[in-house]
Structure 1
Amino acid sequence: MTTDAPLDPQILLTGFPGFLGSQLVERLLDRGSGPVACLVQPKYRDLAERRASELVEADDRARIRLYEGDITDPGLGLDGLDDLSSVTELYHLAAVYDLAVSREVGEAVNVRGTEHVLDVAEELDVDRFQYVSTCYVSGRHEGVFTEDHLQEGQTFNNHYEETKYRAELLVQRRMAEGLPATIYRPAIVVGDSETGATQKYDGPYYLLRLLLAQSSALSVLATVPGAAETELNVVPRDFVVDAIAHLSRRDDTVGEVYQLCDPSPLSVPRFVDAVAEAAGHRTLSVPLPKPTVKRLLRLLRARGVPAEPATLDYFDHPTRYACPNTRRALAGTEVTCPPFESYVDHLVAFVREHPTIRDDAMV
Structure 2
Amino acid sequence: MSVPHEVVFFTGATGLVGGDVLRRMLAADPALRAVVLVRDAGRWEQVSTRLALPAGRVGAVVGDVTRPGLGLSADTRVRLAREITAVVHAAADVVFSRPLAVARAVNVAGVRHLLDVAAGWPRLRRFAHVSTAFVAGRRVGRILEGEERGDAGWVNAYEQSKHEAEWLVRASGRDWVIFRPSTIVCDSAAGGVTQYNAVHLGLRLLHDSLAPMLPAAATSAIDVVPRDYVAAAIAVLALRQDLAGRTLQLCAGSGALPVDELLDVTWQAWSRRPEWRRRGIPRPVLTDIATYHRFELAVEETGDSKLRQAVRALSYFAPQLALPKAFDTRAADAALGGPAPAVRTYWARMLEHLVSVGWCEAVKGVAA
Cα distance in 1 for partners of 2:220, 2:339 equals 23
Query: Using a 3 Å threshold, how does the CA distance of structure 1 residues 303 and 64 change in structure 2: closer, same or farther?
Result: same
Identity %: 29
Cα distance in 1 for partners of 2:216, 2:286 equals 10
Query: Using a 3 Å threshold, how does the CA distance of structure 1 residues 293 and 79 change in structure 2: closer, same or farther?
Result: farther
Q: How many residue pairs align between the two structures? A: 341
Cα distance in 2 for partners of 1:293, 1:32 equals 54
Return the offset for 1:124. 1.2
Query: Using a 3 Å threshold, how does the CA distance of structure 1 residues 308 and 287 change in structure 2: closer, same or farther?
Result: closer
Q: Does 1:354 align with 2:357?
A: yes
Aligned to 1:284: 283
1:316 equivalent among 313, 322, 326: 322
Aligned to 1:66: 60
Q: Does 1:187 align with 2:182?
A: yes
Aligned to 2:199: 204
> Contact between 1:147 and 1:257, CA under 8 Å: does it hold in 2?
yes
Aligned to 1:328: 334
Return the offset for 1:306. 10
Write the letter of the residue equivalent to 1:291. H
Aligned to 2:149: 151
Aligned to 2:366: none
Cα distance in 1 for partners of 2:210, 2:46 equals 40
Q: Does 1:274 align with 2:265?
A: yes
Aligned to 1:11: 8
Cα distance in 2 for partners of 1:225, 1:303 equals 17
- Give matches, 1:260-271, under 5 Å: 260-264=250-254, 265-271=256-262
Aligned to 1:245: 235
Cα distance in 2 for partners of 1:119, 1:210 equals 43
Query: Using a 3 Å threshold, how does the CA distance of structure 1 residues 150 and 90 change in structure 2: closer, same or farther?
Result: same
Cα distance in 2 for partners of 1:149, 1:93 equals 21
- Give matches, 1:43-58, under 5 Å: 45-56=41-52
SS at the partner of 1:193?
Answer: coil
TM-score of the pair, normalised by structure 2: 0.84
Return the offset for 1:13. 0.4
Q: Does 1:255 align with 2:245?
A: yes
> Contact between 1:234 and 1:340, CA under 8 Å: does it hold in 2?
yes
Q: Does 1:163 align with 2:161?
A: yes
TM-score of the pair, normalised by structure 1: 0.85
Write the letter of the residue equivalent to 1:343. Y
Cα distance in 1 for partners of 2:156, 2:242 equals 34
1:235 equivalent among 203, 206, 225: 225
